[in-house]
Structure 1
């Protein structure tokens, strides 16, 4: 009975570390968006580039080869769009860590309560009182 809450503490701790790691990785990518999307732009096909240009109403990534005087390049539009999505994403990931910490604290409270009940059960057994033993066994049977 005590094994499950202690095991769940380790699972929650692993989940917290994983969640924070994913959040930091997403946040780190937001710091390098221009360079990251530039590689996607360079490695993308011409149909991919034209699709992005038509979706964002822009021309070229850093410069427009069709109209060199054009200031409507795609880097700003793509970065603004990615910022909206990625900022909401890593904020949500970091916000979920609050719930994981609360679950962890609740699990620690359950472990402390189980240890306290076990302590009183052992004291009751030593003193020879059956009242708490019957209460503890009924609690133990209800949890199964």
Structure 2
């Protein structure tokens, strides 16, 4: 592959890195807006990690522009870029794995989160999802609002499923269903960033090798008096 085509491939993967950084940063900011269920699923620490990841990818992209425009014999910028990409890959793996790991015990994890919510938030969740309590009618059920107005309604609304042992009408089902979809989308997207990072890393290695090769041939050509090899 000639140098121009190789740099074109490199530029494509660099653009993918830019898009990855923008996506990570944008969603980390947008999901901080008041949203009953999203605020329940993603904690401030999760969004901060996403923000840091997005900023890191954008910083790497900015550095890559300076690295690629250096003269052929100067490859140190690309070498440093590759080390930055290695750090980005580690960050992507850590953030993605942390989100994925949270999906393994969603019912228990979000039970703890649910217990931390204020009564007003719990009532809002119950009204929105038409449910009462987390696991059952005595598990942090808050009476009031438009749905779970009194204990008599709660007792008549919740039904024990003898097959699964779960109470139908409890909030654990709809909460974890929404959380599962959101978390799966999040960690799949984050892991997708790894493709851009690794492909750019490989492309950078190829560019370094190609430039070193061209410089070596230039030196050989100069020693031959500029007559080339033909």
Q: Does 1:20 align with 2:93?
A: yes
The equivalent position to 1:105 in structure 2, one of 196, 202, 208, is 202
Tell me the SS of whatever aligns to 1:32: helix
* Residues 1-144 of structure 1 mapped to structure 2, 5 A cutoff: 1-65=74-138, 66=151, 67-68=154-155, 70=158, 71-129=168-226
Tell me the SS of whatever aligns to 2:177: helix
| Residue in structure 2 matched with residue 137 of structure 1 by the alignment | none
Give the Cα–Cα distance (whole angstroms) in 1 for the partners of residues 84 and 188 of structure 2. Answer: 22
Deviation at 1:129, TM superposition (A): 2.1
Question: What's the C-alpha RMSD, in Å, of the aligned pairs?
Answer: 1.8
Give the Cα–Cα distance (whole angstroms) in 1 for the partners of residues 155 and 126 of structure 2. Answer: 15
| Residue in structure 2 matched with residue 140 of structure 1 by the alignment | none
Which structure shows the higher helix fraction? 1
Post-superposition Cα deviations, 1:10-33, rounded to whole Å, max 9, x if no partner, equal 111111111111110000011121
Aligned pairs, number: 132
Q: TM-score, with normalisation over the residues of structure 1? A: 0.84
Kindly indicate whether structure 1 or structure 2 has the higher relative contact order, using CA contacts under 8 Å at least 6 residues apart. 1
**Larger-gyration structure (1/2):** 1
Q: TM-score, with normalisation over the residues of structure 2? A: 0.54
Give the Cα–Cα distance (whole angstroms) in 1 for the partners of residues 224 and 88 of structure 2. Answer: 43
Give the Cα–Cα distance (whole angstroms) in 1 for the partners of residues 101 and 227 of structure 2. Answer: 60
Give the Cα–Cα distance (whole angstroms) in 1 for the partners of residues 102 and 207 of structure 2. Answer: 39
Runs of 4+ in 1 over 6 A off after TM superposition: none
